[in-house]
Structure 1
Amino acid sequence: MNPLTAALEFVDSINNEETADGVARRIADLGQTFGFTSFMLAAIPEQGASLDGSIVLSGGNPEWQQRYLDRDYVQHDPIVATARTASRPFLWSSIARDRSLSTIGQQIFADARNHGIIDGVCVPIHGQQSYQGMLIFAGPEVHLTEREISVLHLVGIYASNKMRELTGSTANRPRHRLTPRELECLKWSAAGKTSWEISQILNISQHTADWYLASAARKLHAANRTHAVAEGFRLGLIR
């Protein structure tokens, strides 16, 4: 399908989605029509705060996301810094070419390339109550027309609004918020499934299943997955 057609179809049909996982699949599928291999929809955290609890949806490259979180790159990421004040979507490459880029900013771009992320597009989202968010698509080298970038702007706004509607999100969203995939893995773990069994059920690698479970445990401040499952029940995330 033509990328523009796919994007406009996304905007027309997103209101029919009733689950966060359904929205995530639509975003991932749309990204693939543009040649992207991963995406992330997130609130922009306050200065000094971790990105971990602000991720709403993500998919495609869990290894890079884990490294990004482990190294707390959000504190120095020029993409996030630009998204705080930008009103229109922008390409990563436009930021990477800036000669005034800090050493750590250059390091973040280099590290991303080492994980297969060459370029991307960031869609800043500004909502009610001073809400700031972003939808990021990433992957190989990007060649987008101005019209395609404008349509992706609409996609970001619609996706963000839909997720806020589904989750009742506000600027003060609980910090233990799990992504749909993390919660799904945690629920299967609560049902007694191993990482390998979860990987087969969800059609993901065992490594990816382990990563989602570890991420869920970290967000719930749990020592291990058993502790995470217990916290999930305590908080009403698992029923």
Structure 2
Amino acid sequence: MNSLTAALEFVESVNNEETPDGISKRIAELGQSFGFTSFCLAAIPEAGASFDGSIMLSGWRAEWQQRYLDRDYVQNDPIVAKARTASRPFLWSSIARDRDLTSDEQQVLSEARNFEMYDGVCVPVRGLHGYQGMLTFGGPEVRLNEREISVLHLVGIYASNKVRELVGSSTTRPRHRLTPRELECLKWAAAGKTSWEISQILNISQHTADWYLASAARKLHASNRTHAVAEGFRFGLIR
């Protein structure tokens, strides 16, 4: 799967949606194309706070969602715990390899498997003013390469921003116009090119390519390069 093509197709489909339900359908379709059977897009609540009210879009089975909320599983969910500090997408299966899980954490993952969520991927979402969110997909098996994970990373950021925009939580547009060179570098970054590759394509130094991308990110109020690319799609700068 070509990462840029997949991202563009998702962005185009979401841009035609005017309701969160429509976006939910698009996320579910994309997840299914990767073999996932469920998803959840949510803000990450503060430690000790309830997960109820944090869910923006849910593709969970109703029985699992009700159990998760009733038993306050967010307090012992190792996926949520790691999403609070992670900057890159991670597989659920990597959590057990990274550290020893408590019995309560193991129970959450064990019960998820009863609902055919044996493994999955979680995409942390970072925003302005300390906002933290996540898009998590679950299913029977996960086989993703790095480009596909990059697609889901971009999708998570874009979908989160789009839903928040629809409900009136994020309407800030760039206050400063991107220069042609900044936009050019951003478009190549969206195509999956590294700073070194961009420098070779544009005949500039790698340091200069990094500088243009960092400047574009600041103007787009983005926390990192992937976030900047997602915002570029959201504002129609990348097509």
TM-score by length of 2: 0.67
Q: 1:115 maps to what in 2?
A: 115
Provide, for residues 149-200 of structure 1, a one-character-per-residue CA deviation record: whole Å limited to 9, x for no partner.
Answer: 0110000010001001100126xxxxxxxxxxxxxxxxxxxxxxxxxxxxxx
Shift of the 110–153 alpha-carbon distance from structure 1 to 2, 3 Å rule, reads same
Q: Separation in 2 of the partners of 1:60 and 1:70?
A: 15
Q: 2:30 maps to what in 1?
A: 30
1:1-239 matches, within 5 Å, as 2=1, 4=3, 5-169=5-169
Structure 1 residue ranges without an equivalent (≥5): 171-239
Shift of the 63–7 alpha-carbon distance from structure 1 to 2, 3 Å rule, reads farther
Partner amino acid, structure 1, of 2:29:
D
1:100 is displaced (CA, Å) by 1.3
Q: Separation in 1 of the partners of 2:6 and 2:33?
A: 7
Provide, for residues 104-158 of structure 1, a one-character-per-residue CA deviation record: whole Å limited to 9, x for no partner.
Answer: 1111111111121101110000001111000011111101001100110000010
Contact 1:8/1:151 (<8 A) preserved: no
Contact 1:93/1:119 (<8 A) preserved: yes
SS at match of 1:53: coil
Q: Separation in 1 of the partners of 2:16 and 2:154?
A: 16
Q: Separation in 2 of the partners of 1:33 and 1:137?
A: 12
1:38 is displaced (CA, Å) by 0.8
Percent identical residues: 73
Shift of the 60–6 alpha-carbon distance from structure 1 to 2, 3 Å rule, reads farther
Contact 1:40/1:135 (<8 A) preserved: yes
Number of corresponding residues: 169
SS at match of 1:97: helix
Q: Separation in 2 of the partners of 1:31 and 1:137?
A: 7
SS at match of 2:136: strand
Shift of the 96–3 alpha-carbon distance from structure 1 to 2, 3 Å rule, reads farther
SS at match of 1:39: strand
* RMSD over equivalenced CA pairs, Å: 1.6
Provide, for residues 30-68 of structure 1, a one-character-per-residue CA deviation record: whole Å limited to 9, x for no partner.
Answer: 110001111110000011101011000001412111111
Q: Separation in 2 of the partners of 1:99 and 1:82?
A: 11
Contact 2:13/2:26 (<8 A) preserved: no
Partner amino acid, structure 2, of 1:119:
D
Structure 2 residue ranges without an equivalent (≥5): 171-239
Q: 1:235 maps to what in 2?
A: none
Q: Separation in 1 of the partners of 2:57 and 2:95?
A: 24
Shift of the 168–138 alpha-carbon distance from structure 1 to 2, 3 Å rule, reads same
Shift of the 8–145 alpha-carbon distance from structure 1 to 2, 3 Å rule, reads farther
Partner amino acid, structure 1, of 2:27:
I
Provide, for residues 84-107 of structure 1, a one-character-per-residue CA deviation record: whole Å limited to 9, x for no partner.
Answer: 010000000111334511111111
Contact 2:6/2:151 (<8 A) preserved: no
Q: Separation in 2 of the partners of 1:29 and 1:7?
A: 13
Q: 2:191 maps to what in 1?
A: none
Shift of the 60–73 alpha-carbon distance from structure 1 to 2, 3 Å rule, reads closer
Q: Separation in 1 of the partners of 2:35 and 2:2?
A: 9
